A and B are shown apart, each in its own frame.
Chain A
């Protein structure tokens, strides 16, 4: 095909033609050329300043074992190391505020709470919320931390220790306590378990069969009081829960209590001493106490506003958010 002039642009065509398609012989527009020059210039600046081109090194000739280092001596590794050192420095200064003071002291200090509550909350959501819930009220199989019922010590130092070493964790100093599998290991037969469960229903104030519960009382005395104490009030020294309240880790139905007695329980809380800094574990212990106190105060206000009849029996009731 002939070269022709395109009437719209006034340019000539190249004279090639494919299936009716032609191309104009337009020169490359100047913004494009300028862009190309600028882009290459930017790249060249990078090549000069930063590590970029590999080359043959004289000592291991002829292998390509070296690269141009750049004029500003940049390296990712160096940058990360500097930033980490800076962070460690900042954190070390900050951590002193927790490690140098007694936890009880900090707990009593309203200033401490004001300054560190937000960061401690983030720590909790990042590390603890997946089991204990964002509102610290737990969920089935994971304890509520706001009900003031504690398997182990509920005192701020005790909570700190639990966080540090865990419960039934792999750490040597872990707290350890487990419920034996009375049914599976044939310490009690099925009828006996049934009776014990009825007794537990009784002491926790739930619907029960009086005869069976009476039989269960004897069995309870024989097999259970060693840990759960007389009357089933629990023991914070060995992690045996209080069975008389309406707070349950594994839900308080007959069915789950039966499972607990038959198969036993050995819930695990991981140890955090290898994963968090000391100051962080201390913040978490404080946070649990701070929020627990808030929730208790909120409960008290709610109860005050409610009709008087339910006050006594619901005092340590479950959190609605659960």
Chain B
């Protein structure tokens, strides 16, 4: 079978990339800040390389290759996930130690907490998280649609374009290039690239779905679609800004005052909702039942959960702005929708846990499945906690304190990263055609280190947050403050050390995991590669055969898609 040489696709991509190349060249030429010139040059370099390689590939004669899943881009995305994960977790640990011992910022402007923190957040969310999503969504959409990924060049453009965006972000922050919008820090030119990439991502996904060989679209793909569409919209509106010139990176938001704040937190909360929840729920809906070898608990619950989540999340951003200049009615509306949102969110919890019915024994022998089950736990805890924190009376206590940091990390470390780790331990052997990971024991070490790290981290931040908030709010009967601000700083110090320690455990666990997967990909002893995969017809596995329940035979169910079967 022949696949398309991608002429039309290639020309469209070149036409879209050219303006970005011109923009990059202009920034490099007119720029007056070192970092901006570097960014412009990098954009021009990467885009021109992309254009040249598309031209070269297009001029090659069309090849006859077997119709098979496109896993090359998935492998590259997995590697990028590991690299960004290390950077993100490492920088996170460094700034955690800085908070405990401020001298560690060694008195340089570039290593100041305020400049390094966005390096951490961008690396973990848009580096680690997004690359993991690109890898898993491309994997899932192909398998559950029984169709090859659409496009010859576009999937690669998505992957490298997105990583270019992340590099532009993190390399600019230490030099002060930022919009100052939380989780949307990259400046306008990087945002344009992200938008271009995102539309391409959406196209790849939709085109793959449109050529599916299944009648229905699998639930994981609904979530990925919601994530793609919602983030395209959020990213566009939140980053509407006017650049001041080509000489400096600065731009001004199109909105002002409280409208600007509302736009930012409408974005900010839905970035959590769609980027860190819906999409990772998609991951869960594929890898958890796959690893457990069980059918999804309830199809109907899946539908209610999906539509409830998608509808309600868009309303609740205003709960980030309680007791501000935002009008009361907007705050209350956000608060009330947050209450309702809990229930559809928990549809995932029901489906996640009850899907494990009949497979609980596998948790004993499969650390990857344990990661996924614990991810559901943390998801349950942090969505419940989030609802309480959205209530105005609780918010008065929790807002602007470390409690928020604890909440975010319960979600990010406990839910997002755990489901990613669990999925990666399955995905890597599948896409590299290995029997399993290099070492189950290392997986288990990773699991326990990561779990201890999260628990220490979150526990410390809960304590610290509530302590500092109560201290801030305590008046004596004469209407005088009972504590000075510096007293709360003293009180937080032990918790900050505990937090940094927990984060470091998490980082060590991650390094073990990365080492384990690296050895899975590059085994020490050469392995017998299976013959050229003839995936015609695209493989499916009969679940009846796969649900062998003895712990001894877990291995047999672990690689249901492996071509070696």
Q: A and B, one complex?
A: yes
Residues from chain B with a CB closer than 8 A to the CB of A76 are: 323, 328, 331
B312 to chain A, nearest CB (A): 10
Docked Cα-Cα span, A123 to B144, in Å, equals: 65
Cβ < 8 Å to A, chain B residues 165-215:
214-215
B296 touches A23 (CB 8 A): yes
Within 8 A of B (CB), among A13-66: 13-14, 16-29, 32, 35-36, 39-40, 42-43, 46-47, 50-54
The smallest beta-carbon distance between A19 and chain B, in angstroms, is: 4
A122 in contact with B483 given A21-B218, A26-B300 (CB within 8 Å): yes
- Least CB separation from A120: chain B residue: B480
Contact call B478/A32, Cβ cutoff below 8 A: no
Q: Which residue of B lies closest to A69 (CB)?
A: B329
Decide if A19 touches B146 in the complex (CB within 8 Å).
yes
**Inter-chain contact A18/B144, CB cutoff 8 Å:** yes
Q: Is B130 an interface residue (CB 8 A)?
A: no
Could you tell me if B479 and A91 are in contact, using CB atoms closer than 8 angstroms? yes
B478 is contacted by which of A20, A46, A54, A91 (Cβ under 8 Å)? A91
Cβ–Cβ contact A50 & B328, under 8 A = yes
Contact of B419 with A by CB under 8 A: no
Pick the interface stretch among A4-12, A195-203, A231-239, A310-318.
Answer: A4-12
Q: Say whether B329 contacts A52, CB under 8 Å.
A: yes
Residue in B332, B335, B543 whose CB lies within 8 Å of A20: B543
B51 proximal to A (CB < 8 A): no
A301 at interface by CB-CB < 8 Å: no
- Least Cβ distance of A40 to chain B in Å? 6
Q: What total of A-B pairs shows CB separation below 8 Å?
A: 168
Of B296, B485, B541, the residue contacting A19 (CB under 8 A) is B541
- Count of chain B residues with a beta carbon within 8 Å of a chain A beta carbon: 64
- Taking CB atoms, residues of chain B closer than 8 Å to A43 are 336-337, 339-340
Q: CA–CA, A74 to B332, complex, Å?
A: 11
Q: Are A9 and B286 in contact (CB under 8 A)?
A: no
B337 A125 Cβ-Cβ under 8 A: no
Given contacts A17-B540, A43-B339, contact A50 B332 (CB under 8 A): yes
Contact with A along B299-323 (1 / 0, CB 8 A): 1111010000000000000000001
Q: Mark A115-155, 1 if CB is under 8 A from B, else 0.
A: 00011001111100100001000000000000000000000
Residues of B within 8 A of A40 (CB): 340
Chain A residues positioned under 8 Å from B544 (CB to CB): 4
A108 within 8 A of B: no
Whether A22 pairs with B543 at a CB distance below 8 angstroms is yes
Interface-facing stretch out of B341-349, B372-380, B522-530: B341-349
Please indicate which of the listed interface residues A19, A76, A94, A122 has the most CB atoms of chain B within 10 Å of its own CB. Answer: A19
> Is B295's CB within 8 Å of the partner chain A?
yes
Chain B residue nearest in CB terms to A25? B299
A129 → B minimal CB distance (Å): 6
Q: Give chain A residues whose Cβ lies under 8 Å from the Cβ of B300.
A: 25-28
Query: Which of the residues A14, A25, A39, A51 comes within 8 Å of B339, measured between beta carbons?
Result: A39
Interface centre among A27, A50, A68 (most CB of B within 10 A): A50
Pick from A8, A39, A75: contact of B343, CB below 8 A. Answer: A39
Q: What is the CA–CA distance of A54 and B540 in the complex, to the nearest angstrom?
A: 52
**A90 at the B interface (CB under 8 A):** yes
One of A19, A32, A47 near B350 (C-beta < 8 A): A32
Distance, CA A35 to CA B286, complexed state (A): 26
B contact set with A: CB distance below 8 Å:
143-146, 214-216, 218-219, 286, 289-290, 294-302, 304, 323, 327-329, 331-333, 335-337, 339-340, 342-344, 346-347, 350, 357-358, 475-487, 540-544, 546-547, 560-561
**Which 5 residue pairs of A and B lie closest in terms of their CB atoms, listed nearest first?**
A8-B358, A20-B541, A125-B484, A90-B479, A43-B336
What are 17 contact pairs spanning A and B, CB under 8 A?
A9-B358, A14-B299, A16-B214, A16-B216, A18-B145, A20-B543, A20-B546, A28-B301, A46-B336, A67-B329, A68-B329, A119-B478, A122-B482, A122-B483, A126-B486, A129-B486, A134-B486
**14 new A-B pairs (CB below 8 Å) besides A20-B561, A91-B480, A94-B479?**
A13-B295, A14-B299, A17-B543, A19-B541, A20-B542, A20-B546, A21-B218, A46-B332, A67-B329, A90-B479, A125-B484, A126-B481, A126-B485, A129-B484
